[in-house]
Amino acid sequence: MSGSEPLLRVEGLEKYYESESDFIDRLLGRQKKVKAVDGVSFEINEGETLGLVGESGCGKSTIGRSILQLREPTAGSVYFKGQDITTLSDSELRDLRKEMQIIFQNPQSSLNPRLTVNDIIGEALDIHGIEGDVTRDARIKDLLERVGLNASHANRYPHEFSGGQLQRIGIARALAVDPDFIVCDEPVSALDVSVQAQILNLLEDLQDELGIAYLFIAHDLSVVEHIADEIAVMYLGKIAEIGTPEELFVPPQHPYTEALLSAIPEPDPLWEGDRILLEGSVPSPIDPPSGCKFHTRCPRVIPPSDYEFEQEEWRAVMSFRHRAREEDIAVETFGDDDDALTEALRDELDLPSSLTDPEAERVVEEALRSVADEEFAAAESVLRETFETPCTTDEPALRRTDAGRVACHLFDPAYESGPTDGTRTDDGAVTGDGAAASGDD
Amino acid sequence: MAMLEVEDLNVRFYTDDGVVKATNDLSYRIEAGERFGVVGESGAGKSVTSLALMRLIDEPGVIESGEIRFKGQNLLEMNEEEMRSLRGNEIAMIFQDAETALNPSYTVGEQISEAIRYHLDLDEAAARERAIETLESVGIPSAAERYSDYPHEFSGGMQQRVVIAIALSCDPDLIIADEPTTALDVTIEAQILELLEEVATEFDTAIQLITHDLGVVAEFCDRVMVMYAGHPVEMAPVEDVYYNPQHPYTVGLMSSIPRIGDDRDRLQTIPGRMPDLIEMPPGCNFHPRCPYAEESCTRVDPQLVDVETGDPADPINSDAQTAACLAHTGELTGELEYEVTVRGEDDFPGPDGASSSAEVTDR
């Protein structure tokens, strides 16, 4: 780590929660760890913005709160101005909060309804002993005007403001202590599109004027693109891809980034692009999938090299395997007749009536018969053992590609499946080691 | 005669602070099988409009005047009994928040078959069978097993599928979908929209889709009504609204959408906010926020007119593009100046490269 130290450096951040459990479970040590954040590293430079994007439950808000030490991280370090703040005492942390602030998603619930705007913003000043009585009011007026509110409204209560105005008050409160870094946790998700644009512009203006760095958390890529210098896409507690907006939106892309982008509705009635529809929803972080966590939904899982698969067939086989593992196939509803049963199962599982590769067809047929007999484990194991793919066995690490860093085996030459010349990055070891690589054709 | 005709609907809320004019002489129609979008910011009167259709306006709200004709019958003249047999049967509703729309203490199957038993007069077993079929048609795997699961055992997207299944269970002619995907992640939103599209086509159901997301409307709707302060400011087939918007508010909404890959430094915004519905600005309600406003806009309340001819609009019988702006009746000295860019294949950085999109720049 040479050169100038970034404002914020997060290294191997982990936050685990204990899953809900009863007394007996605790006694027997059967609690499970929920890996909300599972080894995340990134940097934010002074006056820059990192966008953090992902679906609900991917751990993005937990990261924001762990950085501010509002949730104590399980492991990993957070360096702010070169100092590891995970080791600070409470009083040191209090001082630090002058420099790090947060803006919440819902201003209605994050502003005290019983305080006037004057007191909401003044409270921050008082706690940190920033202004004297004389200059306090002037400072509050100045802050209100800076965020585009009328200074004469300082004596009003939160309920007298609209959602967009409340969010401006939330921003003014964060600005009051003159921070260098603000975590913006979905600050525009609850707002109308026209108001959303106003708030985004305001945040950008403030950054230009005051040189504040943001961690901007959102679930919408199009919102983040406008404000971020760098974007990290998260999936189940890990970063799937990180890069500048330009890098992120051009191939090579993580298949998840690709799907997120393609899911944004186009405001164009005659648009005729192909939408990538992901199956199912984000798996539970209590028992996350092995290997690449995205493999249960990924449309581009790497097919086994010994068999010939159409990509869609292969996706269907993978989904079949996943559902066999979860025992999520209701066999009894399909009737008793054996042939009709496997036929109905194929239909339910989106499997074609016959696969391209006769050898693969034989294996799938065998698995289907096992499922028909409700032997899910047998079905899962025959599929797992016959069709090997690195996506389910090896966890991908972030690797530098031509455009950003991507955690996907498709871009790892060790698996010779994607046309890339990726190189090892310095912030994560490459997991594949020749032995796991597929055949040589 | 269209399937649904709303004429001069006025809904008022009598609050302590004054009378809230939630909709003002609102008129529109929906044809059988049509997908009709209603867009606007919070407070535009979108949700009130849909609740009025179901006659679900509660105290202190009142439907003051107007007619809501469904298949020729005025809903406002029906008694409670007739209304009840219509709700959930011929007109069904999908709400934004599936978690609160479902009863947590009944199984999802029971919640679907309840409506089926009531409206279709089927016995227990037949209702159960139909409920399972409906669950299957909305893409819930192992429907027969999941019939007896409770709502909390489903994910958010799956709960919304259940709500859609309830709406579909009695094969309605009209579904009112009030922000059905707003609470969902974008990948799940895409699934749900595709599902709605599929079932609407399969069952030939008309859908009134209420949303603040112009992307969703573009994708889903045939015609669209843009609402502002309780009345339509523009109503037209969806292509007209996107490629040739004729009201400054529509232009403002379109240009404030953040788009991936555009090189604008700043997002366009609409200054200010929706007016207080108790004390509306005189003349055109939008004039305090309108970049093209002139002196006459503060005096004259613009009527919805055909943008080609300037004649008063006939939203119940005509498909013409209509807008409520003085620019179309020659009462403005200036013109509405803006530019619509339709992005071609070359400059779109999306994954497949084969796409175009409309973008409005306000000058």
Which residues of chain B have a CB within 8 Å of the CB of A262? 190, 350-352
Helical ranges in A88-227 per DSSP H: 90-96, 107-110, 117-127, 133-146, 163-175, 193-210, 221-227
Rounded-to-integer distance, Cα A441 and Cα B19, Å = 76
Interface of A with B in 358-377 (CB under 8 A): none
When CB atoms are compared, the residue of A195, A221, A267 closest to B218 is A267
CB of A340 within 8 Å of a chain B CB? The answer is no
Q: Which residue has the higher pLDDT, A260 or A22?
A: A260
Residue B175 has pLDDT above 90, yes or no: yes
Q: Tell me the mean pLDDT in the region A27-49.
A: 87
Cα three-residue angle A382-A384-A387, rounded to 5 degrees: 95
Q: Which residue has the higher pLDDT, B129 or A272?
A: B129
pLDDT category, A345, cuts 50, 70, 90? confident
Backbone angles phi, psi at B231, to 5 degrees: -150, 160
Q: Tell me the mean pLDDT in the region A372-395.
A: 88
Residue A100 parent element (H or E): strand A100-103
Residue A414 has pLDDT above 50, yes or no: yes
Q: Tell me the mean pLDDT in the region B158-164.
A: 91
Backbone angles phi, psi at B322, to 5 degrees: -125, 150
Q: Is the dihedral of CA B294, B300, B305, B309 positive or negative?
A: negative
Residue A185 has pLDDT above 80, yes or no: yes
Q: Residue A426: its pLDDT value, please?
A: 39
Q: A114: burial class by Cβ within 10 Å (0-12, 13-18, 19+)?
A: exposed
Rounded-to-integer distance, Cα B290 and Cα B309, Å = 23
Q: Residue B259: its pLDDT value, please?
A: 82
Interface contact flag, A271 B259, Cβ < 8 Å: no
pLDDT digits (tens, 9 = 90+) for A194-245: 888 899 999 999 999 999 999 999 988 888 988 999 999 999 999 999 999 9
Rounded-to-integer distance, Cα A317 and Cα A300, Å = 13
pTM of the model: 0.83
Q: Tell me the mean pLDDT in the region A28-46.
A: 86
Mutate which of B179, B187, B211 to test chain A, going by most A C-beta atoms within 10 A?
B187
- Phi-psi category of residue B204: left, alpha or beta, with phi > 0 → left and psi -120 to 50 → alpha: left
pLDDT category, A51, cuts 50, 70, 90? very high
The nearest alpha carbon in chain A to B341 belongs to A268
Q: Tell me the mean pLDDT in the region A324-346.
A: 74
Q: Residue B348: its pLDDT value, please?
A: 42
Residue A362 has pLDDT above 80, yes or no: yes
Q: Where are the beta strands (DSSP E) in chain B?
A: 4-15, 18-30, 35-39, 61-70, 73-74, 91-94, 174-178, 206-211, 223-228, 231-237, 305-306, 322-323, 338-343, 357-362
CB of A64 within 8 Å of a chain B CB? The answer is no
Q: Residue A180: its pLDDT value, please?
A: 96
The nearest alpha carbon in chain B to A56 belongs to B185
Q: Residue A3: its pLDDT value, please?
A: 56
pLDDT digits (tens, 9 = 90+) for B190-205: 888 888 898 889 889 9
Residue A315 has pLDDT above 50, yes or no: yes
CA–CA min distance B185, chain A (Å): 6
Which residues of chain B have a CB within 8 Å of the CB of A282? 185
The nearest alpha carbon in chain A to B358 belongs to A268
Residue B272 has pLDDT above 60, yes or no: yes
Contact B166, B112 (CB under 8 A): yes
Secondary structure (3-state) at A231? strand
Rounded-to-integer distance, Cα B159 and Cα B135, Å = 11
Q: Which residue has the higher pLDDT, A332 or A182?
A: A182
Which residues of chain B have a CB within 8 Å of the CB of A328? 141-142
Domain chopping of chain B, boundaries: 97-171, 267-362
- Sheet hosting strand B4-15, strand order edge to edge: B18-30, B4-15, B61-70, B73-74
Backbone angles phi, psi at B11, to 5 degrees: -115, 130
Contact B270, B287 (CB under 8 A): no
pLDDT category, B361, cuts 50, 70, 90? low
Rounded-to-integer distance, Cα A346 and Cα B43, Å = 48
Residue A425 has pLDDT above 50, yes or no: no
- Domains of chain A plus CATH, in order, are 47-73+89-248 (3.40.50.300), 311-388 (no CATH)
Interface contact flag, A221 B260, Cβ < 8 Å: yes
Residues 6 or more apart whose Cβ sits within 8 Å of residue B308: B320, B321
CB of A266 within 8 Å of a chain B CB? The answer is yes
pLDDT digits (tens, 9 = 90+) for A262-272: 888 888 888 87
Q: Tell me the mean pLDDT in the region B84-100.
A: 90
Range of weakest confidence among A51-65, A124-138, A289-303: A124-138
Q: Tell me the mean pLDDT in the region B53-73.
A: 93
What are the structure tokens assigned to B303, written together? 């009527």
pLDDT category, A106, cuts 50, 70, 90? confident
Give the residue from A77, A90, A73 showing the smallest Cα distance to A17: A73
pLDDT category, A416, cuts 50, 70, 90? low
Question: In the A/B pair of chains, how many CB contacts fall below 8 A?
Answer: 172
What's the whole-number average pLDDT of chain A? 85
pLDDT digits (tens, 9 = 90+) for B297-347: 999 999 999 999 999 999 898 889 999 999 998 888 888 888 888 775 444
Which residues of chain B have a CB within 8 Å of the CB of A219? 185-186
pLDDT digits (tens, 9 = 90+) for B214-254: 889 998 999 999 999 999 999 999 999 999 999 999 999 98
Which residues of chain A have a CB within 8 Å of the CB of B159? none
What's the whole-number average pLDDT of chain B? 88
Which residues of chain A have a CB within 8 Å of the CB of B351? 251, 253, 258, 261-262, 276
Pairing of strands A213-218, A49-53: parallel
What are the structure tokens assigned to B244, written together? 């040739």
pLDDT category, B140, cuts 50, 70, 90? confident
When CB atoms are compared, the residue of A201, A272, A282 closest to B267 is A201
Q: Tell me the mean pLDDT in the region B49-77.
A: 93
